[in-house]
């Protein structure tokens, strides 16, 4: 694809008059067609909004709305300071904050295939943070598992979980889903507290997630509990900012 080719494809013409619907929808569909026809490949940059407005004769407001529609659909991604790019195929996941589920369960529910790359799996001397989070006694060890999680072969998140060794005595038993192993042993958590913060990805994590260092990400620290209120899992996860939307339902409280 050349710049001239995509500019010619977007240039105002019969496609604008022949298509139905609001103008931003017509532009959105035109850009989708350029991707489907291979004029714009995966990760290819799009012209700037002002250039698209000039080519199409549309207002910047209309162009911006069409672009936002494409972002919401996961067709393009926007990188601050760099512009808009065709998505590389990474799924866009809307994650509820009201359900305690595993990554594997989430992907299956969405019809996506899940896979993992092991980064760490074993028994270790706990860090001070793990001792505090898991309420470990002096001399106790901790089971750690760390994985790069993928959906449809695209890297989505890095999960680092720590558990007491009486809950997970052999981390090698975890194959796909940690929660499957915990449920089998009667130790599946029933509630959790999560803290979510926005971060810029450091080089090591960005490389694993297939994005540029400094890209937007989400850090989630989760402490999970058994019915008897014992802490069963302490997890620190890094999510791609362009792959996840976290959604919570809010209700008006009684006053």
For residue 188, pLDDT over 80 is answered with: yes
According to the model, what pLDDT value does residue 18 have? 67
Task: Return the closest-CA partner of residue 49 out of 68, 36, 30.
Answer: 68
Into which CATH architecture does domain 93-247 fall?
A: 3-Layer(aba) Sandwich (3.40)
Q: Give the pTM.
A: 0.69
Residue among 227, 213, 221 at smallest CA distance from 158: 221
Provide the mean pLDDT of the chain.
86
Q: What is the pLDDT of residue 110?
A: 73
CATH class in words for 3-86: mainly alpha
**Alpha-carbon distance 164 to 142, whole Å?**
5
What does the pLDDT read at residue 3? 63
Q: What is the pLDDT of residue 215?
A: 87
Instruction: Write out the H or E segment, with its range, that includes residue 121.
Output: strand 114-124
pLDDT band at 43; cut points 50, 70, 90: confident
- Per-residue pLDDT band at 44 (split at 50, 70, 90): confident
pLDDT digits (tens, 9 = 90+) for 89-135: 677 776 767 777 777 777 777 777 788 899 999 999 999 999 999 99
Write the CB contacts of 137 (distance below 8 Å, at least 6 apart in sequence): none
CB count within 10 Å of CB 67 equals 21
Q: What is the pLDDT of residues 2-30, one digit of tens each?
A: 566 777 778 766 677 766 778 888 889 88
53/202 Cα distance (integer angstroms)? 35
pLDDT one-digit tens code per residue, 140-176: 999 999 999 998 888 989 999 999 999 999 999 998 8
Q: Which sequence spans correspond to the domains of the chain?
A: 3-86, 93-247
């Amino acid at each position: 694809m050349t710049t001239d080719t995509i500019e010619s494809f977007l240039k105002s013409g019969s496609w604008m008059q022949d298509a139905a619907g609001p103008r931003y929808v017509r532009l959105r569909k035109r850009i989708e067609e350029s991707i489907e026809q291979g004029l714009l490949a995966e990760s290819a940059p799009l012209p700037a909004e002002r250039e698209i407005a000039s080519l199409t004769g549309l207002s910047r407001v209309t162009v911006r709305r069409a672009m936002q529609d494409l972002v919401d659909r996961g067709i393009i991604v926007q990188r601050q300071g760099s512009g808009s790019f065709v998505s590389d195929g990474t799924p866009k996941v809307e994650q509820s904050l009201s359900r305690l589920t595993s990554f594997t369960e989430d992907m299956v529910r969405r019809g996506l295939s899940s896979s993992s790359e092991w980064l760490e799996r074993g028994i270790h001397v706990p860090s001070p943070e793990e001792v505090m989070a898991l309420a470990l006694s002096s001399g106790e060890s901790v089971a750690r598992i760390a994985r790069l999680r993928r959906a449809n072969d695209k890297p989505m998140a890095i999960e680092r979980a720590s558990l007491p060794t009486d809950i997970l005595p052999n981390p090698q038993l975890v194959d796909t889903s940690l929660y499957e192993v915990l449920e089998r042993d009667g130790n599946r958590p029933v509630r959790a507290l999560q803290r979510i913060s926005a971060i810029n990805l450091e080089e090591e994590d960005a490389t694993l997630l297939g994005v540029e260092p400094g890209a937007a990400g989400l850090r989630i620290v989760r402490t999970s509990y058994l019915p008897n209120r014992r802490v069963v899992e302490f997890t620190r996860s890094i999510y791609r900012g362009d792959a996840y939307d976290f959604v919570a339902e809010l209700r008006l409280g009684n006053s």
